Chains A and B, each alone.
Chain A
Amino acid sequence: MKLDARIPAGPLAEKWTRFKANVRLVSPANKRKYEVIVVGTGLAGASAAASLAELGYQVKSFCFQDSPRRAHSIAAQGGINAAKNYQNDGDSVRRLFQDTIKGGDFRSREANVHRLAEVSVNIIDQCVAQGVPFAREYGGMLANRSFGGAQVSRTFYARGATGQQLLLGAYQALSRQIGLGKVTMMPRHEMLDLVVEEGQAKGIVTRHLVTGELKTHAADAVLLCTGGYGNAYYLSTYARGSNVTATWRAHRRGALFSNPCFTQIHPTCIPVTGEYQSKLTLMSESLRNDGRCWVPKAKGEQRAAVQIPEGERDYFLERMYPSYGNLAPRDIASRAAKRVCDEGRGVGPTGLGVYLDFSEAIGRLGEATVRERYANLFAMYHEITGESAYESPMRIFPAVHYTMGGLWVDYHLMSNIPGLFVLGEANFSDHGANRLGASALMQGLADGYFVLPYTIGDYLSQQKPRGEKTDGPAFQEAMGATQARTKKLLGVNGRKPVSEFHRKLGKTLWDTCGMSRTKKGLEEGLAILGGLREEFWKDVKVPGSGADLNQSLEKAGRVADFLELGELMCRDALEREESCGCHFREEHQTSDGECARKDAEHSYVSAWEFKGEGKSEVRHTEPLSFEELALATRSYK
């Protein structure tokens, strides 16, 4: 299969401008004849639905939550990048573009990333106009903070709840369109299948989560804005409901899945405390400004942290990366923590944790200053663990927190199925093998507010409005398949709750396709997952019926898809015989244990094609060419 990314011709910096100037348009009078389905109401989905409705399209918006405001974008803490250069510190579109490409370890598309950097400035304008209360300086101007992977201050923030404020801005814009009758909002609806009619995406099948009603919805285009799939790991910083079902169902209908093994693992999270644990909580990266990471030098150390003398502590990040020390980038810091734990020197009851120690900072700055800087984080830590980080060091451990992989899209954000567009974290497009902090929010809003509203016109202008009829064979087939699958899940009637399978899947992925990967481990992982999937369909227990609110059924469907995805993640990791960004293959490392990228063989985007039940997926590749930036090796020593 030839993957055409449809990147416009011309110099990189002019591609988007030229594209906009030449893109085909739908006339205002005709826009209202087109229906667009938007699945998901996070930053990408809500912003796209609102913007399309403002343009005059008929929009149907779906989310599985009880309200569009609850999408998981709401939980983003740190901030949103934009090349505003308000700090006069040398920022520019070009620099944001460079940082993002480099941060992604040269595994993303130059043209997409440059466009992202270009529209980043419009996002901030738009959000401020909506009433997003960004942090301000005393003079009333917008404040910025610095984030990893950049040498400029370009991150806009609203305390520790930037995602919430941005999402509420988009939610309010969406609500306005709902109120005006231009968007039909369908909360508590889960998309369970994509309808592909004559090769084009023309609708979806949903289940109403309260009544259980399965229904088909037709449209002229379908937008998936359904987020990432990190919950495949069971334990992650994702919301419990985040799932891959919408994109996975689209994948099974022919949409290619790109770079599934690219998973970001964030170094500073509160470690697991027991089997029952359901969720990992992120502690802001900013803590590493003053906290020092260490583990005991001796294995099996039993003493409490404060009783271990200075000489018996290993400040491993400072030792391994003397120039960046505790501020080494996310993937590097995470791997280092894993390494010392693997050596048996991890701390805490599970041995999976390292200390993040503020005693030196408290000694140097005084407790009052530390309190002033981090009080809310220390309080959050105390709330969860019951421990005071003022008295003894915090325990932290890396956790899954974002997925760079997703459905393959071209420059138009359209997948290989015409009419199926994929936005935000659900697509693979902008972050390569590692995402920089504060760039996820930027991408979601860029796609929804400023990219898709242009690119969708190009597609729709070539389509005849199909109307709302859903009686075609494609719709019936998709409906039948969904009914059968629901029935099958309810009919297994085994012994084990869904969560047991999910936990096992998560543990397997974490162990074999987590922070570091080996051929042997991945092959073992594949074997375990194959068995687990079989076992699932034999032994899962889904109580209740399909005719009302049944959270077990919802979970079962999602975990069934995660199980299939898990195998694909392992296969992708197996076939990418190099290390890059988050993807660390132990076979491919430099003499000092860093990523060894193989640009000659692996400078591509993998794109997996579903070939049918029980058949192996086939990998296609889209080669990446770097015209503007020279491929370089990252070093943080």
Chain B
Amino acid sequence: MKLHLRVWRQQSRQSEGSFVTYEADGLTPNMSFLEMLDVVNDRLTKEGQEPIAFEHDCREGICGSCAMAINGEPHGPNAGATTCQVYLRSFRDGQTLTVEPWRAKAFPVIKDLVADRSAFDRIIQSGGFVSVGTGQAPDANAIPIGKGIAEKAFDAAHCIGCGACVAACRNSSAMLFVAAKVSHLGLLPQGQTERKQRVQKMVAAMDAEGFGNCSNQYACEAVCPKEISVEMIARMNRDYAGAVVDQI
């Protein structure tokens, strides 16, 4: 199997980038997309060129490191999968693939396909937690939590922070990411005390990072590898209004 690659190469945050074409040959359909990049990189290394920088770690879809758009689609063609879970059988022999880093002002490119997603960490630092110190917890079964609530909270908490939502959004909005955390903690009894101030602080932090605004097109939901529902955004919008009313 053979693929033509057009890969975004950019030396550093400051420098201009451009597409470079590579031929990837001798592939098999059972190879993962990232393994194909490994093969290309080994060849580039042998030729004395710098390999393509890209982020990856667990290669099983949970760490959220891998982040690239394949033919304009964050994480590639398959629903519910991260880039590392894309296998070459998803492509046609001889197909041309254009590979780009996440595109968003809040995620500046560091090198090649590596973008800086630290804005997400700063949003969590602004309030994406329950303020409970080690050792302060009551017995785990002291507060019953309905199975449905726990499941829904899990659905939200399953976010891997990969940033595909931002990458897919025409406006680079981080609403799905922020809403997932707001909903996860807002659904559980443990998160109630800080619920109002959490949404207020996290939205303020999100705005300050330069993400765009949601225009309700739901590309985020479509590309989310954990298929997190935009219901979470609705919930956040409601919580936010609640926080405003609370101020009054």
Touch test A–B (CB under 8 Å): yes
B147 contacts A138, C-beta separation under 8 Å: yes
Counting chain B residues whose Cβ lies within 8 A of the other chain, the interface size class is: 35 or more
A124 contacts B140, C-beta separation under 8 Å: yes
Interface assignment of B211: CB less than 8 Å from any CB of chain A:
no
Interface assignment of B131: CB less than 8 Å from any CB of chain A:
yes
A141 contacts B134, C-beta separation under 8 Å: no
**Given A131-B191, A281-B60, A549-B111: A165 touches B50 (CB 8 Å cut-off):** no
Interface assignment of B132: CB less than 8 Å from any CB of chain A:
yes
- Best-buried of A130, A450, A500 by chain B (most CB within 10 Å): A130
- Cα–Cα distance between A278 and B64 once the two chains are bound (Å): 17
Q: How many whole Å from B114's CB to the nearest CB in chain A? A: 6
Partner of A495, one of B46, B110, B158: B46
Q: Chain B: which residue is nearest A140 at the CB level?
A: B144
Contacts of A74 in B (CB 8 A): 58, 62-64, 160
Interface assignment of A137: CB less than 8 Å from any CB of chain B:
yes
- Cα–Cα distance between A242 and B20 once the two chains are bound (Å): 30
Interface assignment of A636: CB less than 8 Å from any CB of chain B:
no
Residue-wise interface mask of B (128-162) relative to A, using a CB-CB cutoff of 8 A (1 in contact, 0 not) = 11111111111111011111001101100110110
Contacts of B160 in A (CB 8 A): 74, 164
- Cα–Cα distance between A241 and B134 once the two chains are bound (Å): 29
Interface assignment of B240: CB less than 8 Å from any CB of chain A:
no
**Given A165-B154, A541-B48: A239 touches B144 (CB 8 Å cut-off):** no
Contacts of B29 in A (CB 8 A): 386
Q: Chain A: which residue is nearest B81 at the CB level?
A: A383
Task: Report B28-78 residues with CB < 8 Å from chain A CB.
Answer: 28-32, 34-36, 38-39, 41-42, 44-46, 48-51, 53, 55-60, 62-65
**18 pairs from A and B in contact (CB 8 Å cutoff):** A65-B63, A66-B118, A67-B120, A69-B124, A122-B137, A131-B188, A138-B147, A140-B145, A171-B124, A179-B125, A185-B121, A239-B58, A273-B30, A278-B35, A278-B59, A279-B32, A499-B42, A550-B50
Interface assignment of B184: CB less than 8 Å from any CB of chain A:
yes
- Cα–Cα distance between A416 and B48 once the two chains are bound (Å): 43
Partner of A142, one of B50, B141, B151: B141
**Given A72-B57, A141-B144, A161-B158: A383 touches B64 (CB 8 Å cut-off):** no
Q: How many whole Å from B85's CB to the nearest CB in chain A? A: 6
Q: Chain B: which residue is nearest A52 at the CB level?
A: B134
A69 contacts B64, C-beta separation under 8 Å: yes
Q: Chain B: which residue is nearest A274 at the CB level?
A: B28
- Cα–Cα distance between A168 and B184 once the two chains are bound (Å): 11
Contacts of B31 in A (CB 8 A): 274, 276
Q: How many whole Å from A235's CB to the nearest CB in chain B? A: 11
- Cα–Cα distance between A549 and B59 once the two chains are bound (Å): 20
- Cα–Cα distance between A51 and B126 once the two chains are bound (Å): 18
B117 contacts A66, C-beta separation under 8 Å: yes
Partner of B157, one of A136, A165, A496: A165
* A-B residue pairs, 5 tightest by C-beta: A140-B144, A129-B137, A172-B129, A179-B125, A125-B137
Contacts of A50 in B (CB 8 A): 134
Q: A122-B135, A129-B136, A179-B126 are in contact. List 12 more A-B contacts (CB 8 A).
A: A51-B133, A70-B64, A75-B60, A75-B62, A126-B135, A130-B132, A131-B153, A159-B154, A164-B62, A172-B124, A548-B12, A552-B50
B157 contacts A129, C-beta separation under 8 Å: no
Interface assignment of A624: CB less than 8 Å from any CB of chain B:
no
Q: Is the interface of B mostly helix, strand, loop or mixed?
A: loop
B124 contacts A175, C-beta separation under 8 Å: yes
- Cα–Cα distance between A176 and B126 once the two chains are bound (Å): 7
B residues touching A (Cβ–Cβ < 8 Å)?
11-12, 28-32, 34-36, 38-39, 41-42, 44-46, 48-51, 53, 55-60, 62-65, 81, 85, 87, 89, 110-111, 114, 116-118, 120-121, 124-141, 143-147, 150-151, 153-154, 157-158, 160-161, 184-185, 188, 190-191
- Cα–Cα distance between A454 and B141 once the two chains are bound (Å): 26
- Cα–Cα distance between A369 and B157 once the two chains are bound (Å): 28
Interface assignment of A173: CB less than 8 Å from any CB of chain B:
yes
A449 contacts B147, C-beta separation under 8 Å: no
**Given A140-B144, A158-B154: A449 touches B50 (CB 8 Å cut-off):** no
Contacts of B30 in A (CB 8 A): 273-274, 385-386
Q: Chain A: which residue is nearest B152 at the CB level?
A: A133
Task: Report A217-276 residues with CB < 8 Å from chain B CB.
Answer: 237, 239-241, 273-274, 276
Contacts of B150 in A (CB 8 A): 133-136
B132 contacts A277, C-beta separation under 8 Å: no
A497 contacts B139, C-beta separation under 8 Å: no
- Cα–Cα distance between A86 and B140 once the two chains are bound (Å): 10
**Given A69-B64, A175-B121, A543-B48: A279 touches B59 (CB 8 Å cut-off):** yes
B46 contacts A541, C-beta separation under 8 Å: yes
Residue-wise interface mask of A (192-222) relative to B, using a CB-CB cutoff of 8 A (1 in contact, 0 not) = 0000000000000000001000000000000
Interface assignment of A585: CB less than 8 Å from any CB of chain B:
no
Q: Chain A: which residue is nearest B63 at the CB level?
A: A70
- Cα–Cα distance between A127 and B141 once the two chains are bound (Å): 12
Task: Report A166-188 residues with CB < 8 Å from chain B CB.
Answer: 168, 171-173, 175-176, 178-179, 185, 187
- Cα–Cα distance between A237 and B39 once the two chains are bound (Å): 20
Contacts of B28 in A (CB 8 A): 273-274, 276
- Cα–Cα distance between A499 and B64 once the two chains are bound (Å): 23
Q: Chain A: which residue is nearest B201 at the CB level?
A: A179
Interface assignment of A108: CB less than 8 Å from any CB of chain B:
no
Contacts of B144 in A (CB 8 A): 136, 139-141
Interface assignment of A84: CB less than 8 Å from any CB of chain B:
yes
A72 contacts B53, C-beta separation under 8 Å: no
